[in-house]
Amino acid sequence: MLSLDVEQRQARTLAKRILLLINSVTPALLSALTLFSLSGVGFAQETSSQRLGKALSLVGAEREKALIEGAKKEGELNLYFVLGVSEGQPFASVFQKQYPFLKVNYIRAGRGAIMTKILTEVRVGAFRGDLIQISPDEAYHLIKGGITDRYLSPYAKDVKKGYYDPNGNWTALYYSTMVLAYNNTRVAPGDVPKRYEDVLNPKWKGKLILDVAATDWFGMLVESWGEKKAVDFGRQLVKQEIQFRRGHRLQLLLLSAGEVDIAPKVYGETGYIMKSAGAPIDFALLKPHIIKPYPMLLVKKASHPFAAALFYDWSLSEKGQAALQQFARVSVLERVKPRYPALMVENPLVITPEGFGPNYERYINLFKDTFGIKTAE
């Protein structure tokens, strides 16, 4: 398996130049993607769904057989994923072991950088992606820009409601639950916040940490509470002398080291990994319960549409989702036993591409203005 981690110095430099365009939902981005979708540069003129043809109407063993026959002719699969190499590459290896006739190229980049890579390759006619796995707001731009195709896997019927698009634009591969984390040697059980407003208690002044790119979390607070209440909360949080850092792992490391006491927003599964390794941290699930799914999308003019569809279906099957949970991710299937039962919540707010994407630029600007941050995301 070929592994390409594009988070290197050259990619980071390029990302800085283009991310400003991406974050502002630039017309240049959408026009570039639309140009790609219309031009078919380097691809057959037919879309992926057209090339898949009859296979889309099949189910069960007949569908798999048809996809395998087509995938064998293609011989390759290009995955453009945000899922980290340490988890995503072994996950893809499980798939490749079951379908050894395919060479899986795992192209990984973080949030923002993956869009930069796609956009850059589209502009020069070098994009060869088959499947994309990305954040909800970025998925929205890809769908709107015409770079992706509809694909409604037969396994989508078993996916939790709200974690896939019934029209087939996207299906979540896994999801993250946003939680408040705290150092359990420094925060007494009776002092654990029960509401987000509890972190505004003067006792936590100078003892809080927040991701500098927490736009998604703040945006969902706006949707749940209304703009005025969310902005007032954010401004009071700033008065608490909150520290800003980039990355949930870094926040949890600082929390574990006792540098801070509370992190209002981290991803629960990341925290549980560190807790299981002995870190002195625990979690509180505060309302609104916010869920962030990571959509998977079929490229409209994929180089290898049969291999892409085969992976798409397999990754949403019980076998694929069980394999994914081995790598510390949370299954989107109702019937798969959750790896982290404590993270299961009722009536969550789910960040979807179509619900969150159109408002993303507004939330970025609101987050920057509220927290006094020059750059976010």
The model's pLDDT over 216-268, given as tens digits with 9 standing for 90+, comes to: 999 999 999 999 999 999 999 999 999 999 888 899 999 999 999 999 999 99
pTM over 0.85: yes
What mean pLDDT do residues 175-187 have? Answer: 97
**Banded pLDDT at 45 (limits 50, 70, 90):** confident
Render 248-293 in DSSP notation, one character per residue.
HHHHHHHHHTTS-SEEEEEEHHHHHHHHHTT-SEEEE--SSPEEEE
In the predicted model, is pLDDT for residue 37 greater than 60?
no
Contact 313, 97 (CB under 8 A): no
SS3 233: helix
Amino acid 247: pLDDT: 87
In the predicted model, is pLDDT for residue 21 greater than 50?
no
Using CB atoms within 10 Å of the CB of residue 260, give its burial: 0 to 12 exposed, 13 to 18 middle, 19+ buried: buried
Q: Look up residue 143 and give its amino acid.
A: I
When mean pLDDT is compared across 118-127, 163-172, 295-304, 313-322, the lowest value belongs to 118-127
CA distance 17 to 23: 11
Amino acid 11: pLDDT: 36
The model's pLDDT over 59-98, given as tens digits with 9 standing for 90+, comes to: 999 999 999 999 999 999 999 999 999 999 999 999 999 9
For residue 264, the tally of other CB atoms under 10 A from its CB is 25
**Banded pLDDT at 29 (limits 50, 70, 90):** low
**Banded pLDDT at 4 (limits 50, 70, 90):** very low
Amino acid 27: pLDDT: 42
Amino acid 38: pLDDT: 40
**In percent, how much of the chain has pLDDT > 90?**
77
| Long-range contacts from 322-326, C-beta under 8 angstroms, 24+ separation | 323/91, 323/94, 323/95, 324/91, 324/173, 324/174
Amino acid 12: pLDDT: 41
In the predicted model, is pLDDT for residue 35 greater than 70?
no
All structural domains of the chain, each given as residue ranges with its CATH number in brackets, are 2-175+294-360 (3.40.190.10), 176-291 (3.40.190.10)
